[in-house]
Amino acid sequence: MLTNVAVLAFDGVAPFELGVLCEAFGVDRTADGVPPIDFAVCAATSEPMRTTMGFTMQAGFDLGRTREADLIAVPAIPNGGLPEQSVIDAVREGYERGARILSVCTGAFILGAAGLLDDRECTTHWMYTDKLRRDHPTARVVPEVLYVDSGQVVTSAGTAAGLDACLHVWRQEHGAAVASTIARRAVVPPHRDGGQAQFIARAVPDCDADTLGPLLTWVVENLAEDHSVEELARRAHMSPRTFARRFRAETGTTPHTWVTRQRVAAAEEMLEGTAHPVERIASEVGFANAATLRHHFGRVRGVSPLEYRRQFAC
C-alpha cells in the first residue's frame, strides 16, 4: 500500500514536472478522504539548485530519505540529460529493495542510466523517444503513449501525462474513488488510459453540433446500448469509415477501445460502490456477459472484478 513518497530534485530540474509530482502526492487531502502520504522532496545537496526556469530551490531532505519510500518519483531533466551519480544510485537502490519507480517526461533517462529500462517497455515525451532508443537500445520504447506501467516501473510522457500516471498509481493503490477525488481537486480528467496518444487532432472535443462531443456524452450516459461503429456512425450521420476516421482524430483511439474503457470505468465504480453481482454489472455497463466483463477488466486493470472489489469496495 502506498504510504511514503520521495521525489528527487537535482540541479537543472524542470519545476513544472516537479510541481506535478508535488501536487499529486504532496498535498494533504485527508479532509477529503484521501489516505495520508508521508511526502518528501530529496536531493544530493542541501545547497540551492538551479531550475530550468532560472530560479533556485532547496530540498528539505537528503537522498537517505529515499530508503524509506514506497515510491520514488523522478521529474524531468532538460534534453534527456543526467544528474549527479548519487541520484542515479538512489533510484537503482530503491528499485533493488522493491520500491516502485515513476518518471515524468525525460526523467526516463535517469531510470535508463540506473539500468531500469533494459528489456522493459517504457516511454518518454514524444520529442525524445528516438534519443531514448539510441541511448538505451535494449529498452522497448513505446512512442506516443501517455504512460507505460511495466509493474515496478512506470514511465510517462510530458507534463499532463505525468499527472495521468500519478492518478493511475493512486487508482491502483487506493481505488478509483480516491483517484477521482485527487483529479477533481486538480481539475483534470480522473482517468486517461496509458495507451492513449500523446497528441491528437483535437485534445478536447468541442460540444458544437458538428463534432462528436454530444455523441460521446450520450455514449457514457447509455453504455448498455449498442455502440458498434455502424450504430454510432448512424447517430453521427456519417458513413462508418468517415466516422471511424473522425473518431480517432478527436479522441486519439478507436471507437471500440474508447467504449470499452468507458465500460470498464463504469464497472469499476459499481464494483466499489455497490454489492451488485458481476453479472448485473456486466449487463448495466454494456458487456454481453460476465465473462466478457472479466476479460476486458482483467486486460485493462490487471486484476479480476472480484479481486478489484475486495481491494477497493467502499
Per-residue pLDDT tens over the stretch 4-49: 999 999 999 999 999 999 999 999 999 999 999 999 999 999 999 9
pTM for the whole structure: 0.73
Q: 3-class DSSP state for residue 311? A: helix
Residues whose CB falls within 8 Å of the CB of residue 92, separated by 6 or more in sequence, listed in order: 114, 115, 116
**Of 204, 195, 208, 179, which is closest to residue 261 (Cα–Cα)?**
195
Give per-residue pLDDT as tens, 149-196: 999 999 999 888 999 999 999 999 998 889 989 988 888 877 777 776
Q: What is residue 237's predicted lDDT score, i.e. its pLDDT? A: 92
CB-based contacts of 182-187 (< 8 A; 24+ apart in sequence): 182/24, 182/29, 182/34, 185/27, 185/29, 185/32, 186/23, 186/24
Query: For a pLDDT cut of 90, what percent of the chain falls above it?
Result: 76
Q: What does DSSP say about strands 49-50 and 56-57: parallel, antiparallel, or unpaired?
A: antiparallel
Radius of gyration of the chain (CA): 21
